[in-house]
Chain A
Amino acid sequence: MWKDFLSELRSKELVLSMCLFAFLVLIIFSFAFGTGLKSFKGIIPGILWVAFIFSGLLGLNRSFGVERDKGTLPGLLLCPVSPWEIFLAKMIGTLIFTVIMEIFTLLVFTILYNQNFLPFLLPLGLVILLGTLGFSIIGTIFSAMSSTTSTRDVMLSILVFPIYVPVIIAAVKATGLILDGTSIQTVYAWLKILVAFDLVFLLLAYLTFGFIMEE
């Protein structure tokens, strides 16, 4: 089941393009807002998450898109594994690639905007991981759906964004609070929403993914 991961890792194409895209998003933000803003601290979480989500979508499109393009999906389905395992493999693959991209984005952000994330690394990492997990879960479900359509890329965004709203809110808020240096107790409420979202959608994926994989 790790063949996806291996083949992607060998080509490195996807991760590279995701990173590059995130880089560009950051640069565009600096042109859009200017770096001399007084309230710049307030928009950091926004910039970060917009970069994460847009670049993440890039990766999602590929997740099942490649299988459909090369016609390997039937082969995958013939393997003696359950749809749930296919889902997990795809989801974890997306998660890993997106996290790599996010680490890169944080590094670039540190350099470009002169922000130090080091003191907040642990809580920030937790929030990013939970947010990205939710993103990978719904993204993988919808990527499997949208990859069959002709308007794949647009369809994926239209499906993912409305469902992803609670995660965006919670993740952006939590990131902002962490960067403000507030205690973990205030962030806790947001973390709960992130965890709830992840669990609920993991369960839904478990229950419904078989239906999506039916040809």
Chain B
Amino acid sequence: MSASKRVFKMTLEIITFLAMFAALYAIFLYAPVEKTMGLVQKIFYIHLPAAFLAFLGFFITFIASLLYLYKRDLKWDAAAFCSAEIGVIFCTIVLITGPIWAKPIWNVWWTWDPRLTTTLILWFVYIAYLMLRSVVKEHQRANFSAVFGIIGFVNVPITFLAIRLWRSIHPVLISSRGINISTPMKHTLALTFLAFCLLFFCLLKSRIRLEKTRMDTEMVSALVEEKFYSN
């Protein structure tokens, strides 16, 4: 492969790299410091895109699981797995940045708000998904995890409804969560969104490639073993 071709293949990575830098610049130098919350509000630019990408990751897992059961192509299984893994990473980022932001602003690390609780449950569901994959035998893994990927995702709206109903009976600690943001803040947010999305697809791309390589290696080693033992 020639050098120019390789650079072309790396385009996504390079753009992501630049976008991340631009996003960092925007977050810390371009966006104004929020008046009431102060510097800590900057975490918002990471928190929100990460939350969005966690949901996107789980949604892709759901779609890929459906496609796998429909088409029976292991490619979709790999996509579902990789997407779930990245979703869990972003979900973890959300769950870590959330309390850091909440402590100085709401004065608590955690509240049982519907959104928070649903995110936590979602995190547990996909941790279970990853664990299931690691313990199930090879020939059943794809089927089982696809079924779980679908069940886990379908469960999200019901969980959200139940938790919202559960909370609305008690007085909610924090009711208004609306944030008025100025134009530079909007720009910054849009840029971080873009950068994070690029990062997401970058990770997904390389993770799927890795998984594909792993599958190929396994196939080759199985072939070698067969050859070796048959002689």
Which residue numbers of A lie inside 8 Å of B, CB to CB? 138, 141-142, 145, 148-151, 155, 158-159, 161-163, 165-167, 169-170, 173, 189-190, 193, 196-197, 200-201, 204, 208, 211-212, 214-215
The answer to whether A159 touches B158, judged by C-beta atoms less than 8 angstroms apart, is no
Interfacial chain B residues near A190, Cβ < 8 Å: 165
B122 to chain A: closest residue by CB: A162
B135 CB-CB contact with A under 8 Å: yes
B56 adjacent to chain A (CB < 8 Å)? no
8 smallest CB-CB distances across A and B, nearest first, come from A166-B162, A162-B124, A149-B135, A208-B147, A162-B125, A211-B143, A169-B162, A166-B158
Q: Which of B127, B135, B151, B161 contacts A166 (CB 8 A)?
A: B161
At the interface, yes or no: B155 with Cβ under 8 Å from chain A?
Answer: yes
In contact, A145 and B144 (Cβ under 8 angstroms): yes
Query: Is B33 an interface residue when CB atoms closer than 8 A count as contact?
Result: no
B150 close to A208 (CB less than 8 A)? yes
B window 107-156: CB within 8 A of A = 121, 124-125, 127-128, 131-132, 135-137, 139-140, 143-144, 146-148, 150-152, 154-155
In the complex, the answer to whether B146 meets A211 with C-beta atoms within 8 Å is yes
Taking A165-B121, A204-B154 as contacts, is the C-beta distance between A145 and B146 under 8 angstroms? no
Report yes or no: A145 in contact with B124, Cβ–Cβ below 8 A. Answer: no
**Do A138 and B151 touch across chains, with their CB atoms under 8 A apart?**
yes
Determine the main DSSP class of B at the interface with A: helix
Q: Per-residue CB proximity of B146-181 to A under 8 Å, as 1/0?
A: 111011101100110111011001000000000000
Task: State how many residues of chain B have any CB contact under 8 Å with chain A.
Answer: 31
Q: Output the least CB separation between A172 and chain B (Å).
A: 9
Nearest B-chain residue to A189, judged by Cβ: B165
B114: shortest Cβ distance to chain A, in Å? 11
CB-CB under 8 A from A155, the residues of chain B are 131-132, 135
- A159: chain B residues at CB < 8 Å are 128, 132, 148
Which of chain A's residues has its CB closest to B137's CB?
A148
B202 close to chain A: CB less than 8 A: no
Q: Are A193 and B161 in contact (CB under 8 A)?
A: yes
- In angstroms, Cα B155 to Cα A204, docked, is 11
CA distance in complex: A120, B19 (Å): 62
Total A-B Cβ pairs within 8 A: 88
> Do B147 and A211 touch (CB < 8 A)?
yes
Closest-CB distance, B31 to chain A (whole angstroms): 36
A170–B163 alpha-carbon span in the complex (Å): 9
B69 interface residue (CB < 8 Å to A): yes
CB-CB nearest in chain B for A177:
B169
Q: Which of A149, A163, A197, A204 has the most CB of B within 10 A?
A: A163
Docked-complex contact A211 and B69, CB < 8 angstroms = yes
In the complex, what's the smallest C-beta–C-beta distance from A49 to chain B, in angstroms?
14
Q: Which residues of B contact A169 (CB under 8 A)?
A: 162-163, 165-166
- Which residues does chain A contribute within 8 Å of B137, judged by CB atoms? 148-149
Instruction: Jot down 17 A-B pairs with beta carbons below 8 A, ordered by A.
Output: A138-B151, A148-B140, A149-B137, A151-B135, A155-B132, A159-B128, A162-B121, A163-B155, A165-B159, A173-B169, A193-B162, A204-B154, A211-B69, A211-B143, A212-B143, A212-B147, A215-B140
Verify A193–B165 contact, CB threshold 8 A.
yes
Q: CA separation between A67 and B109, bound complex, in Å?
A: 46
Contact of A165 among B135, B146, B162 (CB under 8 A): B162
Q: Given A151-B135, A197-B158, A208-B69 in contact, is the A145-B147 Cβ separation under 8 Å?
A: yes
